[in-house]
Amino acid sequence: MIPATFDGLMPIVILMSIAVLLFWGGHFASVILAPKKPSHLKSTPYECGEQPVGSAWSMFNVRFYVVGLIFIIFDVESVLMFPVASIFREMNDMGQGGYALIIFLSFISILIEGIAYCWKKGDLDWVKSYQVSLNDNNK
């Protein structure tokens, strides 16, 4: 018999497999139903009717990477805050609300410090960092 705590996993797995089956079902339906007249021009990447020049896989600006890095740090912070947030009310009911609030606020204040630093230094600025790097290229 399935323990009650593991019951919740089954619907997730079922829904995921339905999604996969639906995808392949739709794919094979279109394989059967759809016409097949391939030509070279048809399978060139779309560039508004021009002949594509080069590959699209080119080097991208580092700003995307910075956004990813900042995101991960906030992500981990929120992961750490979730368990504390979900017992906050319970602790408040037990009369330890002030203690929990101090711990929670000191955690968040360090987070705010981080975002304030990045804001001040212009790391959250999309355009400014771009202009700085342009100037660097000109030098």
Partner 1 sequence: MNQTVVSYLSQYEFYDSLLALFGNNQGLLAFTIFLIVALIIVGLCATIGGLGTYAERKISADLQQRIGPNRVGPYGLLQFLADGVKMMTKEDVMPFTADKMLFYLAPMLALVGVFATLAVLPFSSGFAMADLNVGVFYLIAISSLVGLAVFLGGYASNSKWSMLGGMRGASQIISYEIPVTISILAITLLAGGMSFGTIVGMQKGLPINWFIFHNPFAFIAFFVFFTGALAETNRAPFDLPEAESELVSGYHTEYTGMRFGFFALAEYIEVFVVCGVAVALFLGGSNLPVDIKLDIIPIQIIEVVIFLTKTLLLYYVVIWIRWTLPRLRVDQLMSVCWKYLTPMAILNLVGCAIWLVVFNGKSMADMVFGH
Partner 2 sequence: MFIQILFGLSALLTIGCAIAVAVTKNIMHSCVFLLGSLIGIAGLYATLGADFVAVTQIMVYVGGVVILMLFAVMLTGGKDYVSKAQNLLGLAPNMGNKWTYTIGLLVSLVFILTNVKLVSSVIKANPAKTFGNEFPSTVNQLGHLLVKDHVLAFELSSVLLLGALVGAAIIARPRKQ
DSSP state of 5: G
Specify the stretch interacting with partner 2 by CB under 8 A; choose among 21-29, 34-42, 44-52, 113-121: 113-121
Identify which of residues 49 and 83 has a Cβ nearer to partner 2 in the complex: 83
Four-point Cα dihedral 120, 122, 124, 126, nearest 10: 160
Q: Does 89 bind partner 2 (CB under 8 A)?
A: no
Residues 6+ apart with CB under 8 A from 111: 74, 77
Choose the one of partner 1, partner 2, none that binds residue 59, judging by a C-beta under 5 to 8 angstroms depending on kind.
Answer: partner 2
Specify the stretch interacting with partner 2 by CB under 8 A; choose among 20-28, 29-37, 38-46, 121-129: 121-129
Specify the stretch interacting with partner 2 by CB under 8 A; choose among 5-13, 20-28, 29-37, 39-47: 5-13
Q: Does 75 bind partner 2 (CB under 8 A)?
A: yes
For the bound state, the minimum distance from the C-beta of residue 95 to partner 2, rounded and expressed in Å, comes to: 14
Q: How many residues does the chain have?
A: 139
User: Which tokens sit at 96?
Assistant: 């330890």
Q: Which of residues 25-64 bind partner 2 (CB under 8 A)?
A: 55, 57-60, 62-64
DSSP conformation letters of 26-89:
HHHHHHHHS-----TTTTSPPSTTSPP-S-S-----HHHHHHHHHHHHHHHHHHHHHHHHHHHH
Choose the one of partner 2, partner 1, none that binds residue 46, judging by a C-beta under 5 to 8 angstroms depending on kind.
Answer: partner 1
